[in-house]
Amino acid sequence: IVVALYPLGVHHLLLDDPRVFSGLLLGAALPWLFSAVNIKAVTRAAGEMVREVRRQFKIPGILEGTVKPDYDRAVDISTTAAQKELISLATLTVCVPIIVGILFGVAALGGFLCGIIVSGQLLAVYMSNTGGAYDNAKKAIEDEPCDPEHNRGKGSERHKCGIVGDTVGDPLKDTAGPALNPMIKVVNLLALILAPLLVILETSGTVEMLIVSVIALVILFGLTVWALRKSMKEADFGMMTAETIDVPQ
């Protein structure tokens, strides 16, 4: 980024520069937004899976073991959700750094990279360690002698709380935490490729470049808003009435 700023007479980035500091704050916020969208996507996929399981439970013979469940449908739900939910995450990862670079300049993009690296690294470690702690806490309770009367082992209140913690911890350590690493790499690579183009944009000052910038911003803002609205869709955990569930006879 600093090398790209040489044509503008800038040889270093200072935090007292409002553009750099603004980019730093925006970069620090992106990993949290990315993780929120990621966890929301996992919740929606889980809701779809729960709804399918409840539908199949109502098929005669499934619970008795005389009819084979439709495993292909469950696999299809998982693979489809993984591909569809990736669209919003990829859109945010690509659009946000470009918007920051066009609106605030290359210096702000440098601060943006610093913010996303520091915040993303700490958040990824936190999520991985927290999710692992929740998971191991449940396993530790299950290893205890079963004594619900004294709140020990399986069936106790501690075990129920451990299951809740494990349900929360699995998306943290298996999804949100590991996903931050490739996200940070993609943003950094995109910023390094974009920096020379932004310098040309800042130094040219022509009407044509201004029009191109405005059109690009409108498109990028539209894609970002669409991705955020898509990520806000609530999960459905199959809480439907018997009349709304299609059950094969």
29-86 per-position pLDDT tens digit: 999 999 989 988 888 888 888 888 888 888 888 888 788 888 888 888 888 888 888 8
- Position 248 scores a pLDDT of 47
Whether 212 contacts 198, CB under 8 Å: no
What's at 64, amino acid-wise? E
* Element at 127 (helix H, strand E): helix 106-142
Distance of CA 211 to the CA centre of its chain: 33
In this prediction, residue 67 carries a pLDDT of 83
Q: Which two tokens stand for residue 181?
A: 């690493």
- Contact between 184 and 121 (Cβ < 8 Å): yes
**What was the pLDDT predicted at 235?**
59
| Residue 148 to residue 8: CA distance in whole angstroms | 70
- pLDDT for the residue numbered 247: 47
Residue 8 pLDDT: 53
Say what the pTM is. Answer: 0.77
Q: Residue 189: which of 104, 121, 116 has the closest Cα?
A: 116
- State how far the Cα of 90 lies from the Cα of 94, in Å rounded to an integer: 6
Domain boundaries, the chain: 21-134+167-232
Closest C-alpha among 120, 154, 121 to residue 140: 154
pLDDT of residue 27: 92
Bridge-partner residues for 147, per DSSP? Answer: 152
pLDDT at residue 214, as a whole number: 83
Q: DSSP code of 235?
A: P
Buried b vs exposed e over 116-137: b needs ≥16 C-beta within 10 Å?
Answer: bbebbeebbeebbebbbebbeb
Regions of the chain with pLDDT less than 70: 1-12, 205, 234-249
Residue type (1 letter), 118: V
**Which residues are within 8 A (CB) of 44 and not within 5 positions of it... i.e. 6 or more apart?**
81, 85, 233, 234, 235
Task: Report helix, strand or coil for 26.
Answer: helix
CA distance 219 to 52: 37
CA distance 151 to 144: 10
pLDDT number for residue 244: 44
